[in-house]
C-alpha cells in the first residue's frame, strides 16, 4: 500500500537548532496511524510513504537527502513506476477496500459550530485578505488599516451581506440590519442603494426585505 502526502505550496525545512512542523513529520504520523489501524483490524500489508510536491513552481530549501520526497519534475516518472508494478488483487484486498469505505465519515465531528447569536458577534466588515475588523471607508473604498488592502465599498457591502446570510440563513435582509452589521457606513441610503441594485425588494416601506434577484 502506498500513502502519499501531497503538498502544493512552498516549504522550508527546519534547521537543526529549531524544530518546526514539516511534511516529513506529517507523513511519519500518517504512516504510523495507518499502520496501527491496519494492524488493529488484522491486516498485514506493507506501506510505502512519500511526500509529493505537485506545484511546478515549488521551491524546496534545505531539503534533507535520502528522504521519501517526490519533486514536480520527478512526478511523471514516479507515477509510471507505480503503474508498472504488477498487482495481484485477491479477496483480502477487496475486504480491506470495503472496510475502508465503511469507515469513511461523511459528517465530521469538527464540522459542528458552537451556538451563537447575532448580539454576540462583533459587527463590521472583515478585510477580504487578512480578515481583520480594523477597516475604514476612504473615497468609496473599504481600506484595511492592518494590511492596507483596498476593496470597492459596494463589493464589501455585498460580501458582508453574504457573510450575514451564511451565519443566519433564515434572517431577513433589511436595510437597517445590514447598516447595523456593516457599521462603518453612516448613510442608510448607500446601504439601500446597493441592496436595491443587487437584490429584489419584498414588501413595502418599513416592512420590506431583500432576496436574490
Q: How confident is the prediction along the chain (213 residues), in pLDDT tens digits per residue?
A: 554 544 444 444 444 444 446 788 888 888 888 889 888 888 888 888 888 888 877 777 777 778 888 888 888 998 898 888 887 888 888 888 898 888 887 776 666 778 899 999 999 999 998 999 999 999 999 999 999 999 999 999 999 999 999 999 888 899 999 999 999 999 899 999 999 898 888 876 665 677 766
Task: Please spell the DSSP secondary structure of 148-197, one letter per residue.
Answer: --EEEHHHHHHHHHHHHHHH-TT--B-HHHHHHHH-S---HHHHHHHHHH
The cell for 57 is: 513552481
Q: Are 38 and 45 in contact (CB under 8 A)?
A: yes
Handedness of CA 175, 180, 183, 187 (dihedral sign): positive
Q: Are 174 and 189 in contact (CB under 8 A)?
A: no
Tell me, what DSSP letter sits at residue 84? H
Domain boundaries, the chain: 2-111, 135-212
Rg of the chain's alpha carbons, rounded to an integer?
Answer: 26
Q: Are 133 and 144 in contact (CB under 8 A)?
A: no
The single residue listed with the C-alpha cell 466588515 is 125
Question: What CA–CA distance (Å, rounded) separates 205 from 177?
Answer: 14
| Residue-level pLDDT at 61 | 72
Q: Are 179 and 191 in contact (CB under 8 A)?
A: yes
What would be the CATH architecture of the domain defined by 135-212? Orthogonal Bundle (1.10)
Question: What CA–CA distance (Å, rounded) separates 28 from 196?
Answer: 55
Amino acid at each position: 500500500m502506498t500513502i502519499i502526502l501531497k503538498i502544493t505550496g512552498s516549504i522550508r525545512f527546519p534547521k537543526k537548532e529549531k524544530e518546526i512542523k514539516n511534511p516529513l513529520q506529517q507523513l511519519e504520523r500518517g504512516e504510523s496511524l495507518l499502520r496501527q489501524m491496519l494492524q488493529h483490524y488484522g491486516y498485514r500489508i506493507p506501506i510505502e510513504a512519500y511526500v509529493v510536491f505537485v506545484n511546478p513552481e515549488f521551491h524546496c530549501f534545505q531539503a534533507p537527502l535520502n528522504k521519501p520526497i517526490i519533486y514536480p519534475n520527478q512526478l511523471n516518472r514516479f507515477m509510471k513506476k507505480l503503474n508498472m508494478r504488477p498487482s495481484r488483487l485477491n479477496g483480502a484486498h477487496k475486504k480491506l477496500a470495503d472496510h475502508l469505505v465503511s469507515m469513511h465519515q461523511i459528517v465530521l465531528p469538527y464540522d459542528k459550530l458552537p451556538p451563537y447569536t447575532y448580539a454576540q458577534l462583533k459587527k463590521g466588515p472583515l478585510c477580504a485578505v487578512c480578515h481583520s475588523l480594523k477597516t475604514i471607508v476612504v473615497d468609496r473604498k473599504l481600506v484595511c488599516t492592518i494590511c492596507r488592502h483596498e476593496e470597492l465599498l459596494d463589493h464589501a457591502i455585498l460580501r458582508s451581506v453574504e457573510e450575514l446570510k451564511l451565519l443566519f440563513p433564515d434572517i431577513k435582509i433589511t436595510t437597517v440590519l445590514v447598516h447595523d452589521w456593516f457599521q462603518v457606513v453612516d448613510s442608510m441610503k448607500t446601504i439601500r442603494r446597493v441592496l436595491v441594485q443587487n437584490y429584489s425588494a419584498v414588501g413595502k416601506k418599513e416592512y420590506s426585505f431583500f432576496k436574490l434577484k
